[in-house]
Amino acid sequence: MNDLFLTVLAGLQIGAIYAMLALGLTLIFGTLGVVNFAHGALYVIAIYAAVQVAINVDFTVALIVVPLFLFVVGVVFERGVIRFFYDRPHTDQILVTFGLAIVVEEVAKWLFGANNIPFPRPDWGDGVIIFYGPGAVIPPVPVFQEAPQLWLPFIDGFVTFDYWRIILIGVTIVAVSVLFYLLQFTRFGLIVRAGMRDSDMVQFLGINIARRFAMVVGLGAAIAGVAGLFGGPILGVTPDQGMKLLVPSFLVVVIGGMGSLAGAVLAAVIIGLSLAFTADNPDIQAVIIYLIAVVVLLFRPRGLLGRKGVFE
């Protein structure tokens, strides 16, 4: 039971980063109809911005500055590039955003080198968390005694898990919840949801949808910023991180259903768990995402929660 629990946690942690990136991707696709292959580049900008602020100032400052900075980057990206490609074929959108991603990767390499930059975790996120069950005896050593502890009835004895990864899962849950709240229960969300379904009609009602679309890209970029802040210390800070994460994140979007936020989260959890449960067999792990994509698309061509008419 302990192994199963730890594997599920590992799966959720892997899925968490994919979920945050896939949410941004699917949000941008769902509203603008743009396939944004530069989303990984936004993550790259985020990890470098985060590590620089964390090293030179403080991680707590990075917590505020990085998502805001990425929001601005997203808005500038939409106003400066994406908006000129709304009416162009998806192939053009992919080419320009993919090209931009390469430019960002090379600029990062030029500025910071190709090697990993160590990303120090803040003190409050260091160490492990202890999950313990009935009758567990936790060794009286400082590293265990000072660690956060959580009682769970199904744990045999006790197990430890990297505390930062638990924080990442928690942050993802908060980010997803905030995004859902924003889209479901606010006026901005109503406009965006309506714009996702019929942007022309929304404009006929006097609403400047272009301004909201720019904010949507900013929002997607800000979530990538959060992913970079909390993912950087785990996955490392290298220029190729964006490309590494882009393909699985894009598959998460496809499996979940293009433009479906709930689908993206569901697919991210499925993919994360699949990767965690196949961790002992690297050969299977290397292809499991693609296998899942093939099976899902065979039986549900629009993805798990995809809607008719999107990307068709």
Partner 1 sequence: MVDQPAAEPRAGAGGQPYFRCSNMQSYYGESYIVQGVGFEIDKGEIVALLGRNGAGKSSTLRTIARAHAPHLEAGEIWLEDQPLHKMAAHQAAQQGIQLVPEDRRIIPGITVEENLILAQVAPPRGWDLERVYALFPRLGERRKQEAITLSGGEQQMLAIGRALARDIKLLLLDEPYEGLAPTIVAEIARTVEKVKAEGITTIIVEQNALAALRIADSAIILDMGEVVFRGRAQEVLDNEDLREQYLAV
Contact between 79 and partner 1 per CB under 8 A = no
From the list 153, 204, 280, 298, which residue makes contact with partner 1 (rule: CB under 8 A)?
204
Q: How many residues bind partner 1 (CB under 8 A)?
A: 18
From the list 207, 262, 284, 292, which residue makes contact with partner 1 (rule: CB under 8 A)?
207
Draw the binding track, 209-228, toward partner 1 (x: CB under 8 A; -: no contact).
x-------------------
Please, are residues 224 and 66 in contact by the beta-carbon 8 Å criterion? no
Q: What is the CA radius of gyration of the chain?
A: 20
From the list 182, 208, 281, 294, which residue makes contact with partner 1 (rule: CB under 8 A)?
208
**For the sheet containing 149-151, what is the strand order?**
149-151, 128-132, 158-162
Candidates 60-68, 150-158, 204-212, 244-252; binding stretch for partner 1 (CB under 8 A) = 204-212
In the bound complex, what is the minimum distance in angstroms from residue 189's beta carbon to partner 1?
Answer: 10
Contact between 89 and partner 1 per CB under 8 A = no
Candidates 21-29, 48-56, 115-123, 190-198; binding stretch for partner 1 (CB under 8 A) = 190-198
Contact between 123 and partner 1 per CB under 8 A = no
One-letter identity of residue 282: P
| Residue-wise DSSP of 70-119 | HHHHHHHHHHHTGGGGTTS-HHHHHHHHHHHHHHHHHHHHHHH-SSPPP-
From the list 197, 288, 292, 311, which residue makes contact with partner 1 (rule: CB under 8 A)?
197
Contact between 283 and partner 1 per CB under 8 A = no
In the bound complex, what is the minimum distance in angstroms from residue 32's beta carbon to partner 1?
Answer: 14
Give whichever of 214 and 221 is closer to partner 1, judged by the CB atom: 214
Candidates 8-16, 99-107, 197-205, 228-236; binding stretch for partner 1 (CB under 8 A) = 197-205
Strand 149-151 to strand 158-162: parallel, antiparallel, or no bridges (unpaired)?
unpaired
Give whichever of 90 and 211 is closer to partner 1, judged by the CB atom: 211
| Residue-wise DSSP of 138-179 | ----HHHHTS-EEE-TT-SSEEEEEHHHHHHHHHHHHHHHHH
Candidates 6-14, 50-58, 111-119, 184-192; binding stretch for partner 1 (CB under 8 A) = 184-192
Long-range contacts made by residues 230-233, C-beta under 8 angstroms, separation at least 24? 230/164, 230/167, 230/168, 230/171, 230/172, 231/17, 231/20, 231/43, 231/47, 231/168, 232/46, 232/47, 232/50, 232/51, 232/119, 233/119, 233/120, 233/121, 233/125, 233/164
**What are the tokens at 163?**
């505390």
Contact between 182 and partner 1 per CB under 8 A = no
Single out the residue of 225, 211, 298, 219 nearest to residue 261, CA to CA.
219
Contact between 179 and partner 1 per CB under 8 A = no
From the list 79, 193, 240, 285, which residue makes contact with partner 1 (rule: CB under 8 A)?
193
Candidates 33-41, 51-59, 159-167, 188-196; binding stretch for partner 1 (CB under 8 A) = 188-196
From the list 46, 129, 191, 261, which residue makes contact with partner 1 (rule: CB under 8 A)?
191
> Residue 121, Cβ neighbours under 10 Å: how many?
18
DSSP collapsed to 3 states, 177-199: HHHHHHHHHCHHHHHHHHHHHHH
Contact between 312 and partner 1 per CB under 8 A = no
Contact between 282 and partner 1 per CB under 8 A = no
One-letter identity of residue 278: T
- Return residues touching partner 1 (CB under 8 A): 187, 190-191, 193-194, 196-198, 200-209
